[in-house]
Structure 1
Amino acid sequence: MAVQDSKKKIINRLRTLKGHISGIEKMIEDGKECEEILIQIAAIKSSIHKIGTIIVEEHALECLLKEETDEPMDKEKVKKVIKTLINYAK
């Protein structure tokens, strides 16, 4: 996936997320049932996770596959990508 396509996909997901958050605000103002609100919150959590996954994937691909030489991959760069993945997974 091209970087521009990824950016567009992420931006669209973030805009959708904003709409969901506004919807939850309205649900709370309207006194909707807790169960309905929690279902929407779970959907938002899932959406945030998906956005993070897309960003982590792009970061890893960009850092690890952008090598233009036949040189061995820089050990520090690999460590940095692994640290990013671990921090995201927490």
Structure 2
Amino acid sequence: MSEHTDRHEAAAHADAACCGTEETGRKSHHSEKDKSSLIKRLNRIEGQIRGVKGMIEKDTYCDDVLNQIASVQSALNGVGKLLLEHHMRSCVVERLQEGDTDVLTELMTTMNKLIK
């Protein structure tokens, strides 16, 4: 399935979510379909990371390893984009509707971490 399709499907299910952390007591409520899609992506990324480790163990040419690392970073960025979109469409909107403008500061902090 393409990243665009995964992103579209994740956005379509975002209205049923409310995100948070253990510290705030809020939790994410991803649909089973969204959760499954994210876990599949993360499993693929996990495999890619093991592949990079194996390449280093086998003394693979540095440029080839670096290209694989770039691929892993791109895949992680894709997961991050999906989660950010989901979070903004559901959790952020919900908290703003409740009058909680602190969510904007939280969102900016998170976005700054993601775009380092």
TM superposition score normalised by structure 2: 0.62
Partner residue in 2 for 1:80: 106
- Cα deviation for residue 72 of structure 1 reads 7.4
Render the CA deviation track for 1:38-67: whole Å, top value 9, x for unaligned. Answer: 110000010111111111111111123447
Bigger Rg, structure 1 or 2: 1
TM superposition score normalised by structure 1: 0.77
Q: Is the 8 A contact 1:17 1:44 kept in 2?
A: yes
Between the two proteins, the alignment pairs up a number of residues equal to 87
Letter in 2 for 1:10: L
Partner residue in 2 for 1:26: 54
The alignment's C-alpha RMSD in Å is: 2.1
37-46 vs 48-57, greater mean Cα deviation: 48-57
Could you tell me which runs of 5 or more consecutive residues in structure 1 were left unpaired when the two chains were aligned. Answer: none
Of Structure 1 and Structure 2, the greater helix share is in 1
Of all paired residues, the percent bearing the same amino acid is 26
Give 4+ residue runs of structure 1 displaced > 6 Å after superposition.
none
Alignment CA distance shift 1:89-1:73 (3 Å): farther
Could you tell me which runs of 5 or more consecutive residues in structure 2 were left unpaired when the two chains were aligned. Answer: 1-9, 14-29
